[in-house]
Amino acid sequence: MTTKHEAQYLVAPSAPAEAVNSHQDDDQSPRSLKDSAPSPFWRVGTPALLLTIPLAYIVLMAMTAYLDGKERSDFGDNVREVLQIASTLWPISFAAVLGPTLKTLALHSAERGSRLGSLEFLLSSQTTFAALKNLVVMQHLNIWTIGIGVLWCLSPLGGQAAVRSLQPRPNSTTTEIQAMHYLRSNVSDIVRFYQGNRPGDDAGALWGGSAQSTLISGMRSIVVASFSSRDILVSHGNGSSVDFDVVAYSFGGPEQAGRLGRQDLWQNVRVPYLQLLPGYDAEKPHNWVPVPSEWAVPYVSLVGIPIRGGSSFGVGNSTMVVQSHYQTLDCGDEFNGTDWVKEGSEKISFHDTKKGAEALHLQEGPENPNGAKPNIFIDIVNSSSVIVDHNTNWQGVGRIQEPKSKLELIIGGLCNTTYMLRTCKISTSYAEVGVTCTRLSILDSLQCQADRVRHTPGRPISGNLTAISSPLLLGKLIYEFPFITARYHLAQSSTIERYLWDPPTSFGYPGSGPSINPGCFPDVPNEEFQVRLSTALNTVIMATYNATVMRGGEGTSLEGRNFMWHNTTAEWSWFTDDVYVLSRGWFAVAMMSTLVLLGCAVANVTIRCFIKAPDFLDSVTGMTRDSPYIQVKPPGGSGP
């Protein structure tokens, strides 16, 4: 005798004599299998109704795919609402199809002969949780049980995939559009402007003669206005000024302070100080460096680059690349400069040190005197070879060469009774600036800002040829720079002097640091002093450009502009009606789940066509107790 319970055909042959139940009345005979089996209509017709569920979802998925790329409409919004409802009903629909399919498989297996454990798994796996629990508890692991567990995982996944398959998105169209910017980093153009205008060119405010008398007031107004803008209070102050955080939060925080400085007062785009950006790598100077948006960015000048064009009417945004150049300074430590300024000294180039001459910081140029009383002065170290080198290489566009040496700027002031000086080597950086412009509504103006910057390929990283290599500009600038924001009372600090000392004190705020002593900068580190001075110097240099252009008063037409303007191409993107966008990944998951559901419904109908037994598998207990259709072989064993 054997003790192994083997799989057997659980539906016994239909024999009335064998099917008699001893507990039934003698007058009642059990029905045969043929008589108990449902008719073909009920056996197949009822499961066939379940086909409508996946077919309805397939139609919905087809409409979803159809809407991809279509403009937003009432029909599309209705489809999205149906998708939301369908995603809610999906787990119920999935269980309504897969659950009966598993019961049909169990009945088919019972008819052909199956182990009770397999039937128990099929009959009890009617939900996702139940199926996964059975895999763990029953430890009935094989390909088909794991497959059933995977199928049930599509119950929560399919509904979520359907609702995420289609979303309305803003529709943008991009086209190239002409734009222009003012004075790029082409050396020949720079030299042409700074050496003096030709007929039809823009005149510089410090070119001398009657033109200077006419234009210098515009230059001075630009400088004064630039140093009166609120954002200078946080310019070059982050990390070096004890009052930076107080001032920044008075603007609404560092991010708001950063937004204030992206454009100048006339909506020109300011150029970030590339060498001071956190992502700058001196060994990879031509890599684009992103401009941070969450803090006050250091800029090379308080005056920005004028840009015209690059946009159309309406809401949209544009991107373009413009070129610029700016002066950088490398300053040494402050020192006692008594020997440099003593009577008869020849160490400085322009200021008069002869006997009886006025104090250096009060000496004005011969043209357009200002009458103010600054506490500082600037000059150039008197080196005949260096000055000749720069003048020789500034004699015309056809003979431009890079000087072999750098000009050295002197800046100093009367500190109590002693002149304290610094010398700074002057260089030129050439930069390409990525600019983004945005118009949020048709009533708004175009807001532009620099979002990335790099050194211009093919140009010197730290060039020796500078704007003040031009003797025409240099001879006027050294006198104009200290006087522009100076007061008319002795020993009163100018705005530029306060800015060099500590930016938050530029408007007269005493600050929390050491008290300012006019003409003295002993507590300002070289790193901070040189970048603040270069920003102030670049601001004054750029203010010598055409004041009408810098203030946006020359008009918007791009036709008939002179050589100072250079063409570039902007990509203008504008928004039209929203369109529906199909998420390929989510749609694929939803469609796969729907096809699986359809496959289960078809399998249910197909298998039902081959089943002859009635649906008696309400539970495993019902299979083995008091059923006239079940034949269980008595367990074998040895007896006494």
Does position 21 have pLDDT exceeding 60, yes or no? no
CA distance 527 to 525: 5
Q: What is the mean pLDDT of residues 228-251?
A: 84
Question: How do the residues of the chain divide into helix, strand and coil, expressed in percent and rounded to 5?
Answer: 40, 20, 40
Burial degree of 96 (CB within 10 A; 0-12, 13-18, 19+): middle
Of 12-21, 26-35, 145-154, the range with the lowest mean pLDDT is 12-21
pLDDT at residue 507, as a whole number: 87
What's the pLDDT band for 562 if we cut at 50, 70, 90? confident
Closest C-alpha to 384, from 332, 344, 348, 423: 348
Does position 632 have pLDDT exceeding 80, yes or no? no
Burial degree of 299 (CB within 10 A; 0-12, 13-18, 19+): buried
Provide the percentage of residues in the chain whose pLDDT is more than 90: 34
pLDDT digits (tens, 9 = 90+) for 349-396: 999 998 878 888 889 887 778 889 999 999 999 988 888 888 776 655
Q: What is the mean pLDDT of residues 210-216?
A: 80
More confident residue, 530 or 314: 530
Give Cα 333 distance to the centre of its chain: 40
pLDDT digits (tens, 9 = 90+) for 184-199: 777 777 777 877 667 7
The region that residue 351 occupies, defined by phi over 0 for left and psi between -120 and 50 for alpha, beta otherwise, is: beta
pLDDT at residue 636, as a whole number: 54
Element of type H or E holding 589: helix 584-610
Burial degree of 315 (CB within 10 A; 0-12, 13-18, 19+): middle
pLDDT digits (tens, 9 = 90+) for 112-137: 776 777 777 777 777 777 777 777 77
Q: Which amino acid is at 1?
A: M
| 3 state DSSP class of 430 | strand
What dihedral angle (degrees, nearest 10) is formed by the CA atoms of 251, 253, 254, 260? -30
DSSP letters spanning 433-502: EEEEEEE-STTSPPEEEEEEEEEPTTS-SSBS--GGGSHHHHHHHHHHHHHTT--SSTT---HHHHHHH-
pLDDT digits (tens, 9 = 90+) for 389-445: 887 766 554 556 788 899 999 999 988 888 899 999 999 999 999 999 999 888 888
| 302 φ/ψ angles, rounded to the nearest 5 degrees | -80, -10
DSSP state of 381: B
Element of type H or E holding 534: helix 526-543
Length of the chain, in residues = 640
Give Cα 478 distance to the centre of its chain: 42
Mean pLDDT of the chain: 83
CB 72 within 8 A of CB 578: yes
CB 412 within 8 A of CB 331: no
pLDDT at residue 16, as a whole number: 45
Cα–Cα distances in Å, from 274 out to 26, 190, 282, 288, 300? 105, 20, 10, 10, 8
Cα–Cα distances in Å, from 66 out to 8, 63, 69, 164? 52, 5, 8, 15
Give Cα 480 distance to the centre of its chain: 42
Neighbours of 258 (CB within 10 A): 22
Does position 28 have pLDDT exceeding 80, yes or no? no
Q: What is the mean pLDDT of residues 564-588?
A: 89
- Per the listing, tokens 């499961």 go with 47
- In this structure, the strands spanning 316-331 and 335-336 are unpaired
Between CA 189 and CA 490, with CA 367 as vertex, the angle to 5 degrees is 115
Q: Which amino acid is at 207?
A: W
pLDDT at residue 330, as a whole number: 96
- In this structure, the strands spanning 418-439 and 447-455 are antiparallel
Of 37-41, 252-256, 376-380, the range with the lowest mean pLDDT is 37-41
- Per the listing, tokens 């504008």 go with 574
Closest C-alpha to 202, from 593, 544, 473, 625: 544
Burial degree of 282 (CB within 10 A; 0-12, 13-18, 19+): exposed
pLDDT at residue 132, as a whole number: 77
More confident residue, 541 or 249: 541
The region that residue 396 occupies, defined by phi over 0 for left and psi between -120 and 50 for alpha, beta otherwise, is: left
pLDDT at residue 23, as a whole number: 45
| 95 φ/ψ angles, rounded to the nearest 5 degrees | -65, -35
- Per the listing, tokens 């929390």 go with 512
Contacts of 255 (CB under 8 A, 6+ apart): 293, 294, 295
pLDDT at residue 491, as a whole number: 86
pLDDT digits (tens, 9 = 90+) for 325-337: 999 999 999 999 9
| 3 state DSSP class of 370 | coil
DSSP state of 634: P
CB 586 within 8 A of CB 164: yes
Which residues is 172 bridged to in the sheet?
A: 575
Element of type H or E holding 593: helix 584-610
pLDDT digits (tens, 9 = 90+) for 299-326: 999 999 999 998 888 888 999 999 999 9
CA distance 76 to 385: 78
Give Cα 407 distance to the centre of its chain: 40
More confident residue, 97 or 121: 97
To the question of pTM greater than 0.85 for the whole model, the response is: no
Give Cα 417 distance to the centre of its chain: 54
Contacts of 352 (CB under 8 A, 6+ apart): 358, 363
- Per the listing, tokens 């064993």 go with 637
DSSP letters spanning 301-365: -SS-B-EEES--SSSEEEEEEEEEEEEEEEE---EE-HHHHSTT--SBSSS--STTPPPGGG---
Neighbours of 191 (CB within 10 A): 20
